[in-house]
Structure 1
Amino acid sequence: MHIFSQSFKYDHSWSHVVIGMWHKYPNPHCTHVVNVDVLDRTIDPITGIIRTERVLGCKQKAPSWIVKLFGGSEDAFVREISFIDPATQTATITSVNLSLSQFATCYERIQYRPMSSTQTAFTQTAEIQARMAMWRSMTDKFEDWLVQRFEQNAISGKAGFSDVLRTMWEAKEKQTAPS
């Protein structure tokens, strides 16, 4: 198993970041995410926590040896569940791959928490594990490729989300600017 982890801050309020979460895709930095479907959304009447379940459709260019070994296509799907807690100002998102899950699992957890009124902390961890016990060298190679792909997507995701937040901020500033 490989673990990927990163933390940084966004120079935007927690509420701005949470609104931006719903507008992250599509964006030109994350062209691999081609659609997002909301399956379910509920609000707990006691706690006020908003739970949303979505499926992300992705196109991933896999190396030919992976396609030959496992079959499949470039189409991949990810299940995402988010919990937005307005009382504690915590947003937690978990996701897991649905495609090729019999061969490998990527379990990701993201959390947004306010650092101040104008900054939001972002933490991300991913546990990536391949399941090919009889071929340890192939398992290692596959996990290495998955980690590299995840890191590339994380870099693109950060750039894309930063652009989404900046665009939202600029639009808000235009709306509130005196004419």
Structure 2
Amino acid sequence: MHFFSQAFTYDHSWSHVVIGMWHKYPNPHCTHVQTIDVLDRTVDPETGVIRTERVLGCKQKTPTWIVKFFGGSEDAFVREISFIDPATQNATITSVNLSLSQFATCYERIRYSPVASGKQTAFLQTAEIQARMALWRSAADRLEHWLVQRFEQNAQLGKVGFTDVLQSMWNDAKERHPAHM
């Protein structure tokens, strides 16, 4: 099993970041995310927690050795479940790959929480990547290594893309309502 983790702070309030979450894709930095389908959205009447389940359709260039060894295609699907808690101001998103999950899984967890000032939001992202080929450890290690590299590349693109989305939303809001900014 391989792990990935990154943490940083966005210079935007928690509410702005959470609104931005729903506008993250499409963006020019994350062109691998092609489609987003909302499967379910509910609000807990007692807690106010918003639960959303989505499927993201992605297209990525897959190394030839992976396609030859495991089959499949460049199309991949990811199941994402988010919980937005307005009372505690925490947002948690978990995702797991649906495609080729019989060979490898990538379990990702993201958390957005407000920084004490209220003007910034802490971001924590972790991923556990595990190949499911106990008999072929060298192939499993190669696959996990490639998946971690790909995940890290996409995470960096995601950070840049989301920063641009937030900045664009913030600039648009300033232009529409300058007295409130």
Partner of 2:101: 101
State TM-score, norm by structure 2: 0.97
Deviation track 1:113-163 (CA, whole Å, cap 9, x = no partner) reads 000221000000000000111111111011000000000000000000000
Cα distance in 1 for partners of 2:173, 2:14 equals: 15
Cα distance in 1 for partners of 2:30, 2:60 equals: 11
Partner of 2:65: 65
Amino acid paired to 2:86: P
The alignment covers a number of residue pairs equal to 178
Deviation track 1:8-52 (CA, whole Å, cap 9, x = no partner) reads 000000000000000000000000000100000000000000000
Partner of 1:168: 169
Shift of 1:177: 2.3
**Within-5 A mapping of 1:1-179:** 1-115=1-115, 116-177=117-178
State TM-score, norm by structure 1: 0.98
Percent sequence identity is 78
Unaligned runs of 5+ in 2: none
Shift of 1:95: 0.1
Deviation track 1:66-104 (CA, whole Å, cap 9, x = no partner) reads 000000100000000000000000000000000000000
Cα distance in 2 for partners of 1:98, 1:154 equals: 18
| Runs of 4+ displaced beyond 2 Å | none
> What CA RMSD, in Å, does the superposition of the two structures yield over aligned residues?
0.6
Cα distance in 1 for partners of 2:146, 2:74 equals: 15
